[in-house]
Structure 1
Amino acid sequence: MLPIVVCSVLAVALFAERMWALQRGRIIPRHLVAQVWHKVKNDALDANQLREIRAGSPLGRVIAAGLVNMHHDREIMMESIEDAGRHEAHGLERYLNTLGTIAAITPLLGLLGTVIGMIKVFAAISAQGLGDAAALAGGISEALITTAAGLVVAIPSLIAYRYLRGKVDALVVDMEQESLKLVEVIHGQRDRLGSAA
């Protein structure tokens, strides 16, 4: 039971941390692309502002990677954005594998508890025979409780893992779209950035 309890506490902590870290406003600040385009258009983007954009959010880091190469061809700018996007996506997925592992191992820990409980039942049967119902009930109870506890931790952990995985995927797609808007505007494939605002 102790490993299952530890897994449950860890799962709750990881879920809470990821929910806080994956807030849309923290990852993709509103109007960031429009603000950056306004600075680029007015030739007001300097190294300090580029550092601020990079430090502000994951989208800012992706956009900054493109802005460094904005005077090159569109393909070079896109490559740098895609490379930065891959790094940011990896950062957004932090701790998700741990949460998925908890969802996978807690039923196995419950099954282990079941096996240990049944071993105790058979040990009690071999030592005392079938006459001691209390000893048998204790072992069977332990087996059932650990199985149930493993499932009680695994099911919400799996739901949380799938939810967070979908949230990360959606955020990555949105970052790609926002970055693409900026690339298209800088390279003249859009007249204005009204839809990015």
Structure 2
Amino acid sequence: MESYDVVVRFFQNGGPFMYPIAVVLVIGLAIAVERWLVLSTARARNRRAFATAMARLEQQEYRAVVEAGAKSSVPIARIVAAGISRYIGSRRREDIESAMEEGVMEALPRLEKRTQYLATLANVATLLGLLGTIIGLIAAFTAVANAEATEKASMLSSSISVAMNTTAFGLISAIPLLLLHAVLQTKTTEIVDSFEMASVKVVNTLADAGALPAKTRTSDG
């Protein structure tokens, strides 16, 4: 209960800028939770869809892979389907790789959606904290200028202490948002890397089945 009172008093003493900082923090946390759930779900669904697609590829059920990808909303299923669809029309390795790279690029914006807002919100929280402190200091010095000489020192130190609460709360809000941004960026990068690895595995599976011509190598000299 005592710690709760300390938090409430800290918030109340910070002035009006504590409220917009709190709003920024809540919005950032909501975005972080939503993105975490989306990315975690996407990772699990991609794994299942890729396992199914690879099983069909090993059985050379190429049409089934394309049809499943067309009906699916899972990015990896659509990426593999794009590559196999290009394979059916053109058996050139470069065309297949290009089709799957295009699929990865189409999936990337959906994975990165709103994640970049966290870094922006962290900066906004910090700047709001600084702005609140500056305005608080201006008000403090104005009040001190009209105070009695014996009261100036104590009034100034008290006012500065209160004004600093805004900066502290801005940093308290910004640091977790920056950490969450880094975590979500890493999670997104891992998913994109899995897309690229899946593309390589699809091409290698087709090559191992003899469905693709051998990759030519150019020798120097």
Range class of TM-score, shorter chain: 0.7 to 0.9
Q: Which letter maps to 1:108?
A: L
Structure 1 residue 153 corresponds to structure 2 residue 170: no
Structure 1 residue 74 corresponds to structure 2 residue 93: yes
Q: Which letter maps to 1:141?
A: S
Q: 1:4-32 CA distances to partner (integer Å, 9 max, x unpaired)?
A: 11111011101101110011203433613
The equivalent of 1:169 in structure 2 is: 189
| Superposed structure 1 runs of 4+ greater than 4 Å apart | 132-135
Q: Which letter maps to 2:199?
A: S
Select the residue among 163, 188, 193 that pairs with 2:208: 188
The equivalent of 2:126 in structure 1 is: 107
The equivalent of 1:22 in structure 2 is: 39
Q: 1:96-130 CA distances to partner (integer Å, 9 max, x unpaired)?
A: 11011112221111111110110111110122245
Select the residue among 17, 20, 29 that pairs with 1:12: 29
Residue 120 to residue 45, structure 1, CA distance change in 2 (3 Å)? same
Which ranges of structure 1 fall in alignment gaps of 5 or more residues? Answer: 192-197
Select the residue among 102, 105, 108 that pairs with 1:83: 102
Is the contact between residue 130 and residue 166 of structure 2 (CA under 8 Å) also seen in structure 1?
Answer: yes
Identity of aligned residues (%): 30
Deviates more, 1:138-147 or 1:154-163: 138-147
Is the contact between residue 33 and residue 178 of structure 1 (CA under 8 Å) also seen in structure 2?
Answer: no
Is the contact between residue 28 and residue 58 of structure 1 (CA under 8 Å) also seen in structure 2?
Answer: no
Deviates more, 1:131-140 or 1:24-33: 131-140
TM-score (norm 2): 0.76
Is the contact between residue 121 and residue 139 of structure 1 (CA under 8 Å) also seen in structure 2?
Answer: yes
Select the residue among 115, 125, 132 that pairs with 2:144: 125
Is the contact between residue 117 and residue 139 of structure 1 (CA under 8 Å) also seen in structure 2?
Answer: yes
The equivalent of 2:80 in structure 1 is: 63
Q: Which letter maps to 1:25?
A: A
Q: SS at the partner of 1:70?
A: helix
Which ranges of structure 2 fall in alignment gaps of 5 or more residues? Answer: 1-17, 212-221
How many residues are aligned here?
A: 188
Is the contact between residue 66 and residue 78 of structure 1 (CA under 8 Å) also seen in structure 2?
Answer: yes
Is the contact between residue 122 and residue 175 of structure 2 (CA under 8 Å) also seen in structure 1?
Answer: yes
TM-score (norm 1): 0.84
Q: Which letter maps to 1:89?
A: L
Shift of 1:44: 5.4
Give distance in 1, aligned partners of 2:125 and 2:210: 52
